[in-house]
Structure 1
Amino acid sequence: MNTPLAERLRPKKLSDYIGQDHLVGDNGLISKIVAQQSLPSLIFWESPGIGKTTLAQIIANEINRPFYKLSAINSGVKDIRAVIEKAKQSQGMFSQNSPILFIDEIHRFSKSQQDSLLEAVEKAWITLIGATTENPSFEVISALLSRCQIYTLKSFGKNELKTLLDKALSEDEVLKTLDIQIKENQALFRLSGGDARKLLNILELVISQQNPKHKIIIDDKSVYKIVQEKPLKYDKSGEQHYDIISAFIKSIRGSDPNAGVYWLARMLEGGEDIKFIARRLIILASEDIGLANPTALVIANNTFQAINIIGMPEARIILSQCVIYLVASPKSNSAYMAINKAQDLVKQTGDLDVPLSLRNAPTKLMKDLDYGKAYPYAHDYDGNFAYHNFMPDEISSESLYQTSNNPKEKHFKDFLKRRWKDKYEF
């Protein structure tokens, strides 16, 4: 049988779907949609291999809607329009029965391609279900985003992976005819990274390397050995790239130029989307270099703009230059840590009142209520600074920003201490 194990095990009903209890459980949002037979346009967001495509197909089956599927990798505006015309013809004027158009990797569509969907979604000629591994806030145009609900899917945990593994051995028509014993599953789970499809691909690979006439023993040692000898192909469609991008980011954070350029080359040779790489460099420039070298963010952002203009193969040179620059930059995560602390503080303390002195006073009534009173306008004071409490009184003593030990932030530290005296004790 040539059909891959992952495809053979693809569930056909919502009750067979593993994981995503927040969506498909008894009180899940998708379960309610299916029960009500009322489907809005959706975008599924999360890592690959956790069932976005499968869930879309199941929804179409459960509510008995026509289902059209496009991949953003090899489809254009012409393909979109052709599907929309088919959908309009099959639907007529009854929007509640609009066919489902599923677009895999919708983040790869250009603005013009996404624009071509707007009228069809707005007039309910189709119900759109998009799938993306990228943050839709960055990758989907706002006009389309406003017409869709965003559902975040979660990577599989050990329990879901174990359930899937048991299901494969007990229900698959091929595997259940074999004598298979799984003595250890840690390697299977670790190498899968929470990706159900990757788990099944590894399982199938390991089984294929053993004699089906004998008992097949699967343990961690054999799994690691076989996967190292016959590694799963780096998926240039972006399906299984998270281990590589993790190594890439950690190498730059660790200031190793050889490793940074090596992992960059691995991604480029695997056909990785250069915009995906450049976006990660922008994030790293702020998260891991930050205030130690603020120019790093400018360089990374310019890199993103440049590779969009130039394209491959020359974009590889621009990416390499940026990687080496970021590798050689001093590192600081102080901005990253500060916003984390601030958000945690907001969650703990809730909506604290803005101090009266900091409030806007556009009306006479607000001025009479002392809005903005006693606010010291910094530019009226020596050094453009006036000592004042800019935080809610309840948390005025909280310290969120802590300088890192690098030359640039030493200047920040000195600047703040000259003004705030004991308030900022780093």
Structure 2
Amino acid sequence: MARSKTPLEPSTDLLSVDNETLRPLAERMRPRTLDDMVGQRRLLAPGTALRRAVESGRVHSMILWGPPGCGKTTLSLLLARYADAEFKAISAVLSGLPEVRQVLAEAAQRFASGRRTVLFVDEVHRFNKAQQDAFLPHIERGTIIFVGATTENPSFELNSALLSRCRVHVMEAVSPDDIRQALQAALDDAVHGLGGLGLQVDDAALLEIATAADGDVRRALTLLEIAAELAADEGGRITPQTLVQVLADRTRRFDKGGEQFYDQISALHKSVRSSNPDGAVYWLARMLDGGCDPSYLARRMTRMAVEDIGLADPRALQMAIDAWDTYERLGSPEGDLALAQLVIYLASTAKSNAGYRAFNAAKADVREHGTQEVPMHLRNAPTKLMKSLGYGTGYQYDHDAEGGIALDQTAFPDAMGERIYYAPVERGLEIKLKEKLDRLREARVQARRASGRED
């Protein structure tokens, strides 16, 4: 199979020069060599393993994981060009198993005649297990060079059999400075870009567009193309007023229920736990801005009030419930302020997970010790039969005991002995609880020793 050391003109409609003016700017400016790509230096800088493999034509099956507009499709096209292979693309959104089988059959015929196929599967995480498994024998035989693109974490969305046959390459959102370079290249290119329009635009305006694109090169080029169309009425100059129109409805990257969603809720929770109200309110604002359901955030913050603040400040739980109720009554945007005040308070107040740890320790004992009998003195005896069987025998009514507590009375099954699960921290209200419980626990030990119940 012949391998080309330099890229060839692509045999694919995506990079065809036909109807050039009808194609979007982002498509016309798609990089034609690795040197044309912006960003992804970690993967594609000169001398890196992946770059050496691509330039030599030794392309392997891979999963490209990264946000929209970072260059996954472009890199796949370049893989085919440098390897002098046929490029075929399918979308997991639009294609079913019959289409997959047809593409694989064509690739097998092509392989038999001595030509390889780079099969690009966009949104591969949307294929189910059976559809993903269809690629496995063809990857193993080398019939196809499989390139799957996904915006979701492959560990969660792709089956292990497919992952074991592919290398996962993580692609990053492109920085504003790198995007600005792509925009400038489009302005300078008179053949594929906007170089023939005589546009006037300064670096500050390009950087503003690049920043608004939020790591997405394709989006940045689309914004520039819109700005260029509007600039035609301004003598070819992209003015601040032009940018106001173009960037009025900018949105940030956020995927409800996806990787970014879980990363951001993790950042919010950990900012609260770290007593960083500034970080916490930032992540709350990010998630609200991205379209996260505020009721979900209210529920998560209520959990934080129980798990991370706990008995160090019991007011936090009631405040969380009140903020949740306030949001349900007011809705957005007015109710968002109640959530913001809540997250600031949760992050600022004293923290303790002692109650959380105590409950987990008790559950572990329940699992380990099984169904232990309730001690007779703790059992209720509502009938004569139960009394005759000894139910309630030996129970000491605490209110009648000195100090209001029967110190030598155990609360655990006999086979387990006394346990200590709850260990208050020396923060917030738990300082007082710790002082009281330390005294009480020591008094119980002494009382049991005096009664001969303590070893």
Amino acid at match of 1:383: R
Change over 3 Å in CA distance of 1:46–1:2 after alignment to 2:
same
Deviations 1:81-100 (A, max 9, x none): 11111111110297xx6411
Q: Determine the structure 2 residue equivalent to 1:214.
A: 235
Q: Determine the structure 2 residue equivalent to 1:308.
A: none
Shift of 1:27: 1.6
Q: Determine the structure 1 residue equivalent to 2:419.
A: 383
Shift of 1:38: 1.9
What secondary structure does 2:90 align onto?
strand
Change over 3 Å in CA distance of 1:167–1:148 after alignment to 2:
same
Q: Determine the structure 2 residue equivalent to 1:25.
A: 45
Deviations 1:237-265 (A, max 9, x none): 99xx989x989x99xx87xx9x999975x
Which moved further from structure 2: 171-180 or 2-11? Answer: 171-180
Q: Note if 1:61 corresponds to 2:81.
A: yes
Q: Determine the structure 1 residue equivalent to 2:305.
A: 292
What secondary structure does 1:67 align onto?
strand
Q: Note if 1:5 corresponds to 2:25.
A: yes
Distance 1:136 1:22 in 2: 19
**Alignment identity in percent?**
27
User: Is 2:252–2:290's contact at 8 Å kept on the other side of the alignment?
Assistant: no
Q: Determine the structure 1 residue equivalent to 2:127.
A: 109
What secondary structure does 1:224 align onto?
helix
User: Is 2:120–2:147's contact at 8 Å kept on the other side of the alignment?
Assistant: yes
Q: Determine the structure 2 residue equivalent to 1:188.
A: 209
Alignment of 1:262-411 (within 5 A): 290-293=303-306, 382-383=418-419
User: Is 2:223–2:246's contact at 8 Å kept on the other side of the alignment?
Assistant: no
Distance 1:83 1:417 in 2: 73
Q: Determine the structure 1 residue equivalent to 2:382.
A: none
Distance 2:52 2:289 in 1: 48
Distance 2:48 2:435 in 1: 49
Alignment of 1:246-257 (within 5 A): none
Distance 2:64 2:37 in 1: 15
Distance 1:403 1:197 in 2: 54
Distance 1:15 1:71 in 2: 27
User: Is 1:67–1:100's contact at 8 Å kept on the other side of the alignment?
Assistant: yes
Deviations 1:299-335 (A, max 9, x none): xxxxxxxxxxxxxxxxxxxxx9xxx9xx79976689x
Distance 1:130 1:153 in 2: 13
Distance 1:404 1:18 in 2: 51
Deviations 1:1-41 (A, max 9, x none): 22111011001222222221222211223211123422221
Distance 2:147 2:96 in 1: 17
Distance 1:134 1:224 in 2: 32
Shift of 1:226: 3.3
Q: For this pair of structures, how many residues does the alignment match?
A: 305
User: Is 2:227–2:238's contact at 8 Å kept on the other side of the alignment?
Assistant: no
Shift of 1:222: 3.0
Q: Determine the structure 1 residue equivalent to 2:194.
A: 175
Task: Choose the corresponding residue for 1:92, options 109, 112, 120.
Answer: 112
When Rg is computed on C-alpha atoms for both structures, the one with the higher figure is: 2
Distance 1:404 1:108 in 2: 48
What secondary structure does 2:200 align onto?
strand
Distance 2:83 2:419 in 1: 67
Deviations 1:170-229 (A, max 9, x none): 01435212222223234212211111011111111111112268231333x53123332x
Shift of 1:50: 1.2
Amino acid at match of 1:124: G
Q: Note if 1:152 corresponds to 2:170.
A: yes
Change over 3 Å in CA distance of 1:262–1:211 after alignment to 2:
closer
What secondary structure does 2:152 align onto?
coil
Q: Which TM-score applies when normalising by structure 1?
A: 0.58
Change over 3 Å in CA distance of 1:236–1:76 after alignment to 2:
farther
User: Is 1:22–1:29's contact at 8 Å kept on the other side of the alignment?
Assistant: no
Q: Note if 1:83 corresponds to 2:90.
A: no
Distance 1:111 1:328 in 2: 41
Distance 1:106 1:81 in 2: 15
Q: Which TM-score applies when normalising by structure 2?
A: 0.55
Q: Determine the structure 1 residue equivalent to 2:218.
A: 197
Task: Choose the corresponding residue for 1:161, options 170, 176, 179.
Answer: 179
Change over 3 Å in CA distance of 1:235–1:413 after alignment to 2:
same
Shift of 1:141: 1.0
Deviations 1:281-300 (A, max 9, x none): 999976x6654357xxxxxx
User: Is 1:290–1:333's contact at 8 Å kept on the other side of the alignment?
Assistant: no
User: Is 2:209–2:223's contact at 8 Å kept on the other side of the alignment?
Assistant: yes
Distance 1:412 1:149 in 2: 53
Unaligned runs of 5+ in 1: 265-276, 295-319, 339-378, 388-401, 420-426
Deviations 1:122-148 (A, max 9, x none): 332212101111111111111111111
What secondary structure does 2:85 align onto?
coil
Distance 2:217 2:123 in 1: 18
Amino acid at match of 2:197: L
Shift of 1:165: 1.6
